[in-house]
Structure 1
């Protein structure tokens, strides 16, 4: 056996022993990241099989190789029970981590779909401006006693109700976000509002219509 063949044989033996599971020649070739040629893997396995280090089993045309289990030191009953207990503990931990992962992914998805404070503030400002415009238009029409059709009036009322609903919804979203931030914020609410540039309804001179 050449020096190169001996080195390849050592690599194959070490891998099969460490993994301790059945592999085909192609599996070992790929798992060693092609460090050992496929032909060299087969030669090494033939050599190890002849030595009794590896067992060969045939399944039809397919052959698999596994490390000779008799070469491992025997495990006593206590060690086996400890391993079984440890395996059960790890399985339980794995299930818990998988559950936590699912919950965290769900929370992340929800947070990703929730508008940022800046987006909510911008939308709220737009809605407030639109509501104010419609309220002014409604006031002008009322004061000037301009006759409008029932359909036009109903549309104005419907639009006003829709905008007010959006205003109330966006205002609630912004408030919830700010309240969540305040839970871990070291300063008063007024300081946070000033820092992020939040303008309240009172500061804007508008009042949310009553339902």
Structure 2
């Protein structure tokens, strides 16, 4: 196989799978395409030199990965907007829940302090107000006050897509890192910083917390 064909094959493997590889992993995959170890090694060096793939060294170990620019991810604006809407809904829910408890406490006090006629009158008033507040609370829980059902469905759809991509990439990385990190020198956090890996913890996010933004029946399996 010609040198350019070997380079194209190795580049296709790395870019299509979009994950880091060790040289031996590429040699093994290259052999399934009829490439010899020397051809794979030369192709990798040429691709690195041309900037088509990126090389990272960790002690005696070197890994190769595709350039990460241009990958589609959930924008910060979309993430911030979703978090803001969720926070606002949660705050309103808490406020209404507190109001309901306060009314229940007031009703209990009135039963002990008023005459039967006054109790009946104020109980009717409070019962009516309580029913109104509970109906409003149900609307808040359903998101009707903040967004339309169509908008809510679209937000949930986009969030599910992002969670699926997040779950898939996180699982892929764990498998890859487990395979290539054996024998690497240094602390894992330092290695992450050097290679440019952003973990959930470093980004200040929690998968489970974000997943709980979805209704329970619509959450994906982890």
Please report the TM-score for the alignment, with normalisation by the length of structure 2: 0.35
Greater relative CO, 1 or 2 (CA 8 Å, sep 6+): 2
